[in-house]
Amino acid sequence: MQIVRCVSCEGYGWFEDEFSGEPVDCDWCGGTGYVYRDARGVDRKIPEADYGKVAAQLEQLEAERLRQMGYSGQARHPDEQPIRRQDTGSDDESAP
Ligand SMILES: [Zn+2]
């Protein structure tokens, strides 16, 4: 059984409700962002009972998705985070 990104929410696992603006879990994948695809190409929800079994695979798919979105997949060193550079009291917003 293949695991593929949920076509409905594109791996996010949730939608923003168009009326309330609140995040709601995707019905199609149950909020995981991924679904099983069988040999006939039919997608279906991953049963909760299988989450433990597929956790590692989902993690890998998620890392791949984030990488495609432009993340390096590595945590930034705290000193490289812009928030840490704002402790001088200056409000220089023109800095890159
Ligand atoms: Zn979904």
Q: What is the pLDDT along the chain (96 residues), one digit of tens a residue?
A: 899 999 999 999 999 999 999 999 999 999 999 999 999 999 999 999 999 999 999 999 999 998 888 866 566 666 766 656 555 555 556 656
Three-class SS of the chain: CEEEECCCCCCCCEEECCCCCCEEECCCCCCCCEEEECCCCCEEECCHHHHHHHHHHHHHHHHHHHHHCCCCCCCCCHHHCHHHHHCCCCCCCCCC
- How far does residue 64's CA lie from ligand 1's centre (Å)? 17
- How far does residue 91's CA lie from ligand 1's centre (Å)? 41
- How far does residue 45's CA lie from ligand 1's centre (Å)? 9
